[in-house]
Amino acid sequence: MSVMTEALERISIYCELSEPDRPREEIEKKLNFFPFQLSDEAYDFYQWAGAPVGMRWPDDDDCSYSSSTYSCALERFLGNASDLIEFVSIEEAERYYPLSIEDSKYLPFVSYENGLLAIAGSETPVANSPVIQLEEGSDYLWFPSLTNMMLAIAESLETVGTILPDFDYHNEDYRTNKYREKIQEQLQVVEAIAIKYGSPRGAILTN
């Protein structure tokens, strides 16, 4: 069992997964538009039953969420940022791709208001590949590997129960110092976990 598979199994404990893992052949077929190879860990991720799949907005002209075919187990861990951050399915990545000539080796992975996180493609088969932040025409290392990012997510869920600690304005304790101290402590824990797994900015997901 790969380290990625172990990380995904740890995350799965906190998810409600009803679909079976997808075969690699299905993922390879969906990636026909991407002219580079993904790392073994990326295939492990997209085969996982909790990985993003489908289209959030199937038709470009249809803004009705009722027609969505999208699902992703990680969405429930985004808290108040669920409207701002999206794990990108392969189907949606095809809509984004290519981002630009310069970014053609990157497969969109997470979308947020000002940019993307992307998985680096390769000319040859590789076991691991970095997660890159693409923002305002620049790219930055986000995690040294997709596995490291999933390990950070797993440990954050096990430690604080979320990957994006934030204030819940509906919580009756919202205005208390104790509640604010709790959120600040959670933020510090998640930052330390992200740094532990190689995030230069001490963040698992941008928001």
CA atoms of 86 and 55, how far apart (whole Å): 11
The pLDDT assigned to 164 comes to 86
pLDDT of residue 169: 45
- What is the reported pLDDT for 66? 61
Listing DSSP states for 8-72 in one string gives: HHHHHTTS---SPPPPHHHHHHHGGG--SBPPHHHHHHHHSTTS-BS-SSSSTT---GGG---B-
- Statement: the pTM of the whole predicted model exceeds 0.75: yes
What does the radius of gyration of the chain's CA atoms come to, in whole angstroms? 17
| Gap between the Cα atoms of 153 and 194, Å rounded | 8
pLDDT in tens, the chain (207 residues): 799 999 999 999 999 898 889 999 999 999 999 999 999 999 999 999 999 999 987 665 455 556 788 999 998 888 777 788 999 999 999 988 877 767 789 999 999 888 899 999 999 989 999 999 988 777 899 999 999 999 999 999 999 998 988 756 455 565 678 878 888 899 999 999 999 999 999 999 875
The pLDDT, as a whole number, for residue 69 is 87
